[in-house]
Amino acid sequence: MGKVSQLISHPIELKSALKLKFLRQPLFPTDDTSATPELKKCYKLLNLTSRSFAAVIMELNPELRNSIMLFYLILRALDTVEDDMSIDPKVKVPVLREFASKLETSDWKFEGCAPTEKDRQVLLDFPCILKEYHKLKPEYQKVIKDITYKMGNGMADYILDENFNLNGVATIKDYDKYCHYVAGLVGDGLTQLIVLANFGTPDLYNENKQLMESMGLFLQKTNIIRDYAEDLNDGRSFYPQEVWCKYVKRLPDLAKNEDGKGVYCINDLVLNALSHVNDVLTYLSSIHEQSSFQFCAIPQVMAIATLALVFNNETVLHDNVKIRKGTTCYLILKSRTLKGCVEIFQYYLREIKSKLTVVDPNYLKINIQIAKCEQFIEEMYQDKLPPNVKPLETPIYLKVREKTKIDERLIPVLQNEEFKFNIILSMVVTAFAAIYFYH
Ligand code: D61
Ligand code: MG
């Protein structure tokens, strides 16, 4: 189905797309993103390598925008070296291990990527990144460098791991560890930046490291589940053997989906990913600056929507699946408040439950996991209590109450948008009616 007809058949999404394109006011001006030719080049590279992360990074508070943009490009460059199967491990491993130290130079670049590697331009234009990186506040530079060092070495260890190369990810513990290096560490660095800028509650970085870890793992695991077919096609896979071996003898056999074994395996991995939901909601409750909140929330709500889409979905086994563009517009607008995010999670959790069949071997476990999320959400708000019963003031309840106070400032903005949309819509409808009846 074409993109336009898809939108017309989903009117709420059409409304969101129009609102997003014509009505929503940006939080900050973005004219400072082209202050120097190098910076302009960096933002061009950002748009070239990821449309979705580019969109959320552009909206950020200028205090963090360049830092997070460069953090992204530096890790994208590192990941491009890791992903390029044409580079000899003898070359690759030292590049990964020494990547962080190259941040001290002013002109390092890497020309050894295959011409087919989609993001190789980031490595060719690395001197532009370095130039802008050195202009960042020293404490922001340090965070970026520390995380780059840890990720580069983590990736290098995997390349040298014979068993990983031969058989892929073995256990669920290894799965979590791999995801830690490529995504959990990003959550770590971003959290440090957000706390340094005073955009979140300080406990975010010190109290419970599991929260920021879950932010990355929830995103990475969702990508891994969704990309089964694409990864297998490229001759690799990140599905942990400990899970898929319950369903098939060889990983590629999942695609046959004999007796529904393929989708049961997908559902098993979705179950695993759902274990991060409560952490994600807690983390989001701790971000108090609006642009950082949206930056953190948008990827997470897209992930839960993607999990609902891949759940019990045979198509994942041989094709790419992707949520509709209109759905993304709807999610971007709705996820601006914590309450909106929570409602999105509730909606997709119920969607998953409705797609779960009674013959699924994890029927009970999945129901229990979803109930745990729903119970947690009830604890967050406690707004369905009988009369005269006072809410229990648990840590998450108090945290949510603080965040809700902050979100209340946003209500007039959202109402104004809705009002403008309705005025314009009624004007357009009146104009069409006039033409229709009187021409
Ligand atoms: C809040 C907001 C964004 C967050 C977050 C918390 C916590 C973690 C993450 C983003 C990272 C999530 C990564 C999920 C997507 N996975 C990938 O891109 C894989 O590569 C991982 C290594 C490079 C990480 C690059 C990255 C991503 C997002 C960022 C960032 C750095 C820096 C700042 C902000 C967001 C995947 O790559 C796909 C590809 O090569 O095209 C792979 O190779 O597995
Ligand atoms: Mg990679």
Nearest-angstrom CA–CA distance, 58 and 98: 29
Closest to 380 measured CA to CA, from 411, 337, 330: 337
Q: What is the mean pLDDT of residues 294-308?
A: 98
- pTM > 0.75: yes
Over the chain, what is the mean pLDDT? 95
Nearest-angstrom CA–CA distance, 36 and 40: 6
CB atoms within 10 A of CB 172: 14
Give residue-wise pLDDT tens across range 81-116: 999 989 999 999 999 999 999 999 999 999 999 999
65 is catalytic: no
Q: Which residues pair with 287 in a beta bridge?
A: 200
Indicate if the pLDDT at residue 439 is higher than 80. Answer: no
Give residue-wise pLDDT tens across range 145-191: 999 999 999 999 999 888 888 888 999 999 999 999 999 999 999 99
* Contact by Cβ (8 Å): 223, 270: no
Q: Give residue ranges with CB within 6 A of ligand 1.
A: 53, 68, 71-72, 75-76, 79, 83, 182-183, 186-187, 190, 215-216, 219-220, 223, 295-296, 299
Predicted pLDDT of residue 163: 84
Nearest-angstrom CA–CA distance, 148 and 102: 10
CB atoms within 10 A of CB 155: 22
Distance 186 CA to ligand 1 centre (A): 7
Give residue-wise pLDDT tens across range 308-350: 999 999 999 999 999 999 999 999 999 999 999 999 999 999 9
Nearest-angstrom CA–CA distance, 353 and 16: 26
